[in-house]
Structure 1
Amino acid sequence: MTATATKTQGGGTLPAAPRPRGGIVQSVNDSLVVARRNLIRMMRIPEVVVFGLIQPIMFVVLFSYVFGGSIAVGGSTSPSDYREYLMAGIFAQTVTFATAGAGAGIADDMHKGLIDRFRSLPMARGAVLTGRTLADLVQTALTLVVLSLVALIVGWRTHENAGKVLAGFALLLLLGYAFSWIGAVIGLSVRTPEAATSGGLVWLFPLTFISNAFVPSDNMPTVLRHIAEWNPFSATVQAARELFGNLPPGYKAPDAWPMQHPILASVIWSVLIIAFFRTLAVRKYRSAAA
């Protein structure tokens, strides 16, 4: 920010008023400041991160050892094949379930009046939401690192080069970032953090289970199969499996376009979700500030 002093009629000067910088520069800087504030807050409340890790770790262990060997993928019932098939779905579920945390965090800030304090400052309107989603992205990335180590312990392996593996994780994080904007809209639309948590989870369960995350979509009823094949969640899971080299021997992808071109479909879905829900979230933020 730069300051401009204003002269009074008596020859004195008023205190310097902040003058905003260019729109993009100010927005980026303000977003990073808010993101830093949220990351510091997360570090001071480590139990939030710890408890956020428990559920995906439980899913890894339960699905690997309880269902492994009883679910056929690509004609194989090998526990190791299913474990490798499963992990991309667990990773995607983890990044999307962070939506509930994003919504609850924004709702909590609204409830405590922190958002009103931000509104009184000469900062970009979308910076509060962008900073929050960026902080959530960092937390999601750390969660994926820990979850990957757990997956390696239970026997998960990748079979592609490091570049493809990193690209797979990048697509997962892009999906998580896209869904965090859905969480932002939910957080701005409810009155309490509890409602934001419930609202952030109630639609995620059908989204993740009517997909190819845990079982192939081939044996689903026709309507559910088509929903699963065009589900943005399924596209990212399929793309991650391809990039990780985790498709089982004999596996044949469904004929639906997103399943035949999952990497491109994953990017398109995530970008569209970000564009739509970020615009909606910023409008809600502005209307609430009016």
Structure 2
Amino acid sequence: MSLPSLALRDSSTMLRRNLLHVRRYPSLTLNLLLTPVVLLLLFVYVFGDVMSAGIGGNGADRSHYIAYLFPGILMLTIGGTTIGSAVSVAMDMNEGIIARFRTMAIHRGSVLIGHVVGSVLQCMMSVVLVGAVAVAIGFRSTGATPLEWILAVGLLTLVSLALTWIAVGMGLSSPTAEAASNNAMPLMVLPLISSAFVPVDAMPGWFQPIAEYQPFTPAIETLRGLLLGSEIGHNGWLAVVWCLGLAVLGYLWSQSLYDRDPK
């Protein structure tokens, strides 16, 4: 069997294993998924009137703020879902499962590829579920074309891929699953201090650079531009550069840890 065929076969096997693992242990995924849904409902129904008025909408109509909030909640969903990947990888390392795979006649990279592809699929399924909740409570896209929807899905997939590779590295470097969960928390915290909930220019002056010069804000603003017709400007290429840079960094980090860890 050729090397590409072997890699594809073994990676598919590892992907099935990881998806079965999610089905057998749904509590972790459910817990991570409920957080963005709860935040969506909290900000819409508790803070929605005030927030909508604050960003120039009609305080009596929450739909304006739902539209503004939705892209940020999607990023929060992806960040939360990838925490589960870090925990899953750490569990495999500490239970010796990865060490067993290393002794088997399988393609070496298939173990990590299975985790990454499985996590990206979970992220996109989570995005669809959160999107369905948002539509149910009033989100409507403002004249987005089919091409813009395709670009939005592509950006969400790219963000999922980048954060997953970072999460895999965090899982491989963590001594326990609990430590992996704690180490990966920035993936869910950073969207909270981005432009997800309020515009950057409405934040205190000393805090604006923190919110502006981080990977989630350009991605969120690009999604808003694609789905709501707002100005994208330089945020589009910044989001792609951030994603590609994080993906390469996460891949190199994960591969280095995977190759040198003796367990």
Q: What's the TM-score once normalised by structure 2's chain length?
A: 0.91
Match of 2:259 in 1: 286
Counterpart-to-counterpart distance in 1, 2:75 and 2:227? 13
Match of 2:6 in 1: 26
Counterpart-to-counterpart distance in 2, 1:56 and 1:74? 21
Match of 2:39 in 1: 59
**1:1-290 mapped onto 2 (5 Å cutoff):** 1=1, 21-22=2-3, 24-71=4-51, 72=53, 74-78=55-59, 79-159=62-142, 160-201=144-185, 203-245=186-228, 247=230, 260-289=233-262
After TM superposition, give the deviation of residue 260 of structure 1 in Å: 2.3
Would you tell me which structure has more helix in proportion to its own residues? 2
Q: Is the 8 A contact 1:84 1:246 kept in 2?
A: no
Question: Where do 5+ consecutive residues of structure 1 fail to align?
Answer: 2-20, 248-252, 254-258
Q: Is the 8 A contact 2:32 2:80 kept in 1?
A: no
Which whole-Å deviations, capped at 9, do the CAs of 1:184-220 have from their partners, x for residues lacking one?
111111111111111111x235422221011100022
Q: Is the 8 A contact 2:200 2:211 kept in 1?
A: yes
Q: Secondary structure at the match of 2:106?
A: coil
Counterpart-to-counterpart distance in 1, 2:189 and 2:20? 33
Question: Where do 5+ consecutive residues of structure 2 fail to align?
Answer: none
Count of equivalent residues: 259
After TM superposition, give the deviation of residue 81 of structure 1 in Å: 1.0
Q: What's the TM-score once normalised by structure 1's chain length?
A: 0.83
Q: Is the 8 A contact 1:73 1:216 kept in 2?
A: no
Q: 1:55 to 1:205 in 2, by over 3 A?
A: closer
After TM superposition, give the deviation of residue 29 of structure 1 in Å: 3.3
Deviates more, 1:217-226 or 1:62-71: 217-226
Counterpart-to-counterpart distance in 2, 1:39 and 1:129? 13
Counterpart-to-counterpart distance in 2, 1:194 and 1:186? 11
Moved over 4 A (4+): none
After TM superposition, give the deviation of residue 74 of structure 1 in Å: 4.5
Counterpart-to-counterpart distance in 1, 2:107 and 2:255? 11
Counterpart-to-counterpart distance in 1, 2:206 and 2:163? 24
Counterpart-to-counterpart distance in 2, 1:44 and 1:97? 19
Q: 1:93 to 1:220 in 2, by over 3 A?
A: same
Aligned-residue RMSD, C-alpha: 2.0
Q: Secondary structure at the match of 2:250?
A: helix
Q: Give the greater-gyration-radius structure (CA).
A: 1
Q: Is the 8 A contact 1:107 1:188 kept in 2?
A: yes
Q: Secondary structure at the match of 2:88?
A: helix
Counterpart-to-counterpart distance in 1, 2:181 and 2:189? 16
Counterpart-to-counterpart distance in 2, 1:198 and 1:166? 34
Q: 1:101 to 1:205 in 2, by over 3 A?
A: closer
Counterpart-to-counterpart distance in 2, 1:210 and 1:55? 16
The one-letter amino acid of 1:75's match is G
After TM superposition, give the deviation of residue 289 of structure 1 in Å: 3.7
